[in-house]
Amino acid sequence: MNLNDPPAASVQWRSSLQASFEAVRALSARLAGPLSPEDQCVQSMPDASPVKWHLAHTTWFFETVVLKAHAPGYRVFDARYAYLFNSYYEALGPRHPRPQRGMLTRPSVDDVRRYRDHVDAAMAAFLERADTGALAQAGPLLTLGLHHEQQHQELMLTDLKHLLSLNPLQPAYAPVTRSDPTPLRASPSLDARAFPTFDALASRDPLDAAPRATALRWLDFPGGIHPIGHPGTGFAFDNEGPRHEVLLRPYRLASRPVTCGEYLDFIRDDGYRRPEFWLSDGWMTVQAEGWQAPLYWSDLDAARPAVFTLLGPRPLDPAEPVCHLSLYEAAAYAQWAGARLPTEFEWEVAAAGQSAAGQRYDCSVPHPVAARESGHGLQQMFGEVWEWTRSSYDPYPGFRPLPGAVGEYNGKFMVGQVVLRGGSCATPPGHLRATYRNFFPPAARWQFSGLRLARDA
């Protein structure tokens, strides 16, 4: 995050901040719109959080990092919320234990809504009245808060999907109906220097009419010395830098992600029963957890297994990108297929010439769709499914955490995690770029995580 390189606090920049803040906050409210208070209070596992907590935590971030520090006279909504809704910022005080967030039946959903309204009103007043000096100081932190909320918008959907999957009724979060063709308007793009409105409308293909998968092609990329990391213009998280050079050997990438049908072939070739394909930790995890397929798959003996989605249960579509895989499953499939996972550097070099601006996004149809034929290049590099890489989440050469509480945002998690690239169908638009580094433990499966194959050239 380029907090030391703020843009000029111009009238245009102030207006862009206001529009971006309103759009991001409105999307969070829209995501919660179909949910009952009961839906928003439950925590399905320690790694997930209730929707209500996500809504309150993102609000706490703006209150704590922006308003309390940069808006003189700001009145805190409820001082107790500092303990309830801090996530992991040790510098900002103690916090409620993460595995117990589902015990917070109070404050109510209505209380959290009032909290958001209170902070939104204070932020609107600050953005309207702050002098240029105060805005130049607070603006980069506000931008960080917007990207932070976008991360939680994705988590709201992934956490909710895990929660609903445990309900015997298998309820749908957002059922698709052919009588409701209105596309959603995407959020503005979030760039720290200029905030152009992102007006691309999401395609709304019925999931029961998805096209067949395009043929998988292998694309060659040259070796040599390549620059890696954010170039420094516009917003970036601190873990995307410093920019540096890496040496790559020639390699090949698959033109699209692996599909459900291709992964089903792996399952039916006894892939989950053959230890020769698995990393040692992965094989132990498969045995301990009893994994037989990706998360949310069932009826494996049927001609078309069933899969639980945010749209409810449905027959598996073999053309869709496979998702909800752990790193262990992704690596095992790659080994079975006679390939490997790319490194994050190979992925970034391949994606460097592509823009995330065309990313498909529709929060009322939060499910990946099959790739469409589009020339002979890489397909679906941004959106649809996060793609596991074979790179540990480590600091780049010369990385230093930022001073203060925001320095805890990424750096302290740089151990025991693996990098994913590209974004998913649940990632809001304006949030992704080729240098973006997501990370999760290798056994994590509740995200929309899939894979793209790589080979040595």
Q: What is the CATH number of the domain that holds 406?
A: 3.90.1580.10
Per-residue pLDDT of the chain in tens (457 residues, 90 and over written 9)? 454 445 555 788 899 999 999 999 999 999 999 999 999 999 999 999 999 999 999 999 999 999 999 999 999 999 999 999 999 888 788 999 999 999 999 999 999 999 999 999 999 999 999 998 999 999 999 999 999 999 999 999 999 999 999 999 999 997 654 333 333 333 333 433 322 222 222 233 344 444 577 899 999 999 999 999 999 888 999 999 999 999 999 999 999 999 999 999 999 999 999 999 999 999 999 999 999 999 999 999 998 999 999 999 999 999 999 999 999 999 999 999 999 999 999 999 999 988 888 888 988 778 999 987 766 799 999 999 999 999 999 999 999 887 777 777 787 888 999 999 999 999 999 999 999 999 999 999 999 999 999 999 9
Kindly report the CA angle at 317 between 314 and 320, in degrees rounded to 5?
A: 125
Domain boundary among 136, 165, 194: 165
| Total domains in the fold of the chain | 2
Which residues have C-beta within 8 Å of that of residue 154, sequence separation ≥ 6? 424, 426, 427, 428
DSSP state of 203: P
- Token pair of 371 as six digits: 């790739």
Looking at the DSSP bridge assignments, the partners of residue 439 are: 419
Token pair 């301990």 is found at 288
pTM above 0.85, yes or no: yes
At 366, phi and psi to the nearest 5? -80, 80
Same domain, 49 and 142: yes
Residue 6 falls within a domain, yes or no? no
189 within a domain of the structure (yes/no): no
Q: What are phi and psi of 309, to 5 degrees?
A: -130, 170
Domain interval for residue 122:
11-165
Tell me if residue 345 falls in helix, strand or coil: helix
427 in the same domain as 309: yes
Place of tokens 């703006």: 62
Same domain, 153 and 231: no
Whether residue 313 has a cis bond before it, omega within 30° of 0 = no
257 and 370: one domain? Answer: yes
Inter-residue long-range contacts of 389-392, CB under 8 Å, 24+ positions, other chains counted:
389/341, 389/342, 389/343, 389/344, 389/346, 389/347, 389/418, 389/419, 389/420, 389/421, 390/331, 390/340, 390/341, 390/342, 390/343, 390/418, 391/343, 391/344, 391/345, 391/418, 391/419, 392/417, 392/418, 392/419
Boundary of a domain, candidates 115, 136, 165: 165
Q: Is residue 283 part of a domain?
A: yes
Query: Is 186 domain-assigned?
Result: no
**Cα–Cα distance measured from residue 192 to residue 138, given in angstroms and rounded to the nearest whole number:** 12
Domain boundary among 147, 165, 183: 165
Domain identity same for 211 and 91:
no
117 and 260 co-located in one domain = no
* 139 and 261, same domain (yes or no): no
The Cα 287–Cα 282 span in angstroms is 9
Q: How far apart are the first and last CA of the chain?
A: 35
Token pair, residue 281, equals 């930790």
User: Do residue 218 and residue 362 come from a single domain?
Assistant: yes
Residue 214 falls within a domain, yes or no?
yes
Q: Taking the CB of residue 388, how many other CB atoms lie within 10 A of it?
A: 31
Q: Which residues contact 29 (CB under 8 A, 6 or more apart)?
A: 116
85 is a domain residue: yes
HEC string of 292-303 equals CCCCCEECCCCC
Q: Are residues 367 and 281 in the same domain?
A: yes
3-state SS class at 307: strand
Residue 333 β-bridge partners: none
**Beta strands of 229-347 (E only): which ranges?**
244-248, 251-254, 297-298, 306-309, 312-315
Tell me the C-alpha distance between 323 and 372, whole Å.
18
**Are 384 and 262 within one domain?**
yes
Rounded to 10°, the helix 109-129/51-61 angle is: 30
* pLDDT attached to residue 363: 82
The whole-number pLDDT of residue 202 equals 29
In 10 A of CB 247, how many CB atoms? 9
Helix (H) or strand (E) holding 152: helix 132-165
In a domain, 198, yes or no: no
CATH number for position 87: 1.20.120
Note whether 342 and 220 are same-domain residues: yes
Helices 280-289 and 327-336, interaxial angle, to 10°? 110
Which residues are registered as beta bridge partners of 308? 313
Contact indicator for 333, 457 with CB cutoff of 8 Å: no
| Residue 30 amino acid letter | R
Task: Kindly state whether residues 270 and 133 are assigned to the same domain.
Answer: no
Give Dmax over CA atoms of the chain in angstroms.
Answer: 66
Other Cβ atoms closer than 10 A to 109: 21
Element of type H or E holding 69: helix 68-70
| 405 located within any domain | yes
Distance CA 444, CA 195 (A): 33
The pLDDT of residue 358:
81
